Amino acid sequence: MASFASMKIDELNVLENSLNDRLDKFKRMNLNLNMSRGVPCTEQLDIASDMLNLINKDSSFKAEDGVDCRSYGDLAGIPEAVRLFAGMFEVGLNEIIIGGNSSLNLMYDTMLRAMYFEVVGSEKPWSKNEKVKFICPVPGYDRHFSICEGLGIEMITVGMTPDGPDVDEIEKLVADDDSIKGIWCVPKYSNPEGIIYSDETVTRLAAMKTMASDFRIFWDNAYAFHSLSDESKQLKNILSECKKAGNPNRVFIFGSTSKITFAGAGVSILASSEENIKLIKKQISIQTISFDKINQLRHVKYLKNIENVKDIMKKHAAIIKPKFDAVCDIFEKELSGKEIASWIKPNGGYFMSFNALDGCAKKIVAMAKEAGISMTPAGATYPYGNDPHDRNIRIAPTYPPLDELKTAIEVFCICVQIVSIWKHKKDNGGIKC
């Protein structure tokens, strides 16, 4: 198909009419399809359901160290869970805390503690400074931005490259502004672009000179095990790199089993240097006596070891990959050659990033909504919900069944084309839309 830019207004009008006919047909179906969040589908959740049978009233509730998992104790996690997750996230046994049901919760609390108490090496709580700023690679994860927004932390955006966030830019920013206290990173299958940070990016983030001596990297490794194919690029170990560079306390690593076992009912982790973990344990002990160790025990029995985790994730990929493939096939069929959109097909994670023509994303999402398709709001991938180009849309293909997903994406592509035609007509013929 010809690019829209090369088409005459008459040709665009004909095409618009036929697209409107297609859209009307879908509207008459009263669709109600949800592609707004990266949620596991029921079939995928079912994979872990056997985990619920691994503990019952006749089980031994004793952890390896003799602690009864039904009672208080082992604030940093039962030893077998510590060993399993330390192995999975490639850190030492004294460099990890096994938390509750949500890594986002750990991130929020970690930020709060830095704001109102201290991090190792800080002269005062961050909030006692006139300004606190955080670097936010964009497009990025809306809930990270909400944490900053809620706590009054100013967000500075930097662009993403195929190797991760633009480190040249980051190095310049952090070198001479001590109010920049940290950066959000989703280093593997970034949300939403699915990018894995290159070795060089990891090393430079770990080693860069920061004016703030208490600068922290919030390393949200939510998709550490979520490859869709066998050839997964390895992510360099950030904690080792920080240690090598003489910045051992620079990174807080987060992860969870939300998308390995049950979303919101899994186990989360916070890993960091021994010194950081020691302080955090002290701080957390005010907040809780211990996390849910029965869930930890259940997870250890179910996940067993890293090899088994990888096997489980292959079962997930068998469900998820056809969904990503279907989205890409429909994009290809409906949109390629028209020069109205670009997208990245990731090798893992939960999302795809879609760029429409500038100024079109909000209209596309609104039009899709009218046709019964809920997408992540346009702008959500930017701080304050403000995409300066109004072009980025996060696609979340994991939840709907394949048939529904195909319908939703077809409707979405029709909307993309209609709104792009409006833009071309407006730019070229002065026609109001």
Cβ closer to ligand PLP: 205 or 421? 205
342: amino acid identity, one letter: S
Q: Which of 201, 258, 261, 392 binds ligand PLP (CB under 6 A)?
A: 258
Give the whole-angstrom CA distance, residue 149 versus residue 143: 10
Rule CB under 6 A: is residue 290 a binding residue for ligand PLP?
A: no
| Other Cβ atoms closer than 10 A to 213 | 11
* Nearest distance, CB of residue 137 and ligand PLP, angstroms: 12
Buried b (16+ CB within 10 A) or exposed e, 311-333: ebbeebbebbbebbebbbebbee
* Nearest distance, CB of residue 38 and ligand PLP, angstroms: 5
In the shown chain, the binding pattern of residues 19 to 38 toward ligand PLP, with x for contact by CB under 6 A and - for none, equals: -------------------x
Q: Interface residues for ligand PLP in 37-66 (CB under 6 A)?
A: 38
Rule CB under 6 A: is residue 295 a binding residue for ligand PLP?
A: no
Q: Binding segment for ligand PLP among 96-104, 128-136, 194-202, 287-295 (CB under 6 A)?
A: 96-104
Q: Binding segment for ligand PLP among 61-69, 97-105, 209-217, 283-291 (CB under 6 A)?
A: 97-105
Rule CB under 6 A: is residue 261 a binding residue for ligand PLP?
A: no
* Nearest distance, CB of residue 98 and ligand PLP, angstroms: 12
Q: Interface residues for ligand PLP in 136-195 (CB under 6 A)?
A: 141, 186, 191
Cβ closer to ligand PLP: 191 or 227? 191
Rule CB under 6 A: is residue 122 a binding residue for ligand PLP?
A: no
Rule CB under 6 A: is residue 376 a binding residue for ligand PLP?
A: no
Rg (CA), the chain: 23
Q: Which of 122, 210, 249, 256 binds ligand PLP (CB under 6 A)?
A: 256
Rule CB under 6 A: is residue 220 a binding residue for ligand PLP?
A: yes
Q: Binding segment for ligand PLP among 17-25, 26-34, 260-268, 407-415 (CB under 6 A)?
A: 260-268
Q: Binding segment for ligand PLP among 102-110, 197-205, 232-240, 305-313 (CB under 6 A)?
A: 102-110
Binding-site size for ligand PLP (CB under 6 A) equals 14
* Nearest distance, CB of residue 220 and ligand PLP, angstroms: 5
Rule CB under 6 A: is residue 110 a binding residue for ligand PLP?
A: no
Q: Binding segment for ligand PLP among 12-20, 61-69, 262-270, 365-373 (CB under 6 A)?
A: 262-270
* Nearest distance, CB of residue 350 and ligand PLP, angstroms: 6
- Binding interface with ligand PLP (CB under 6 A): 38, 102-104, 141, 186, 191, 220, 222, 256, 258, 263-264, 268
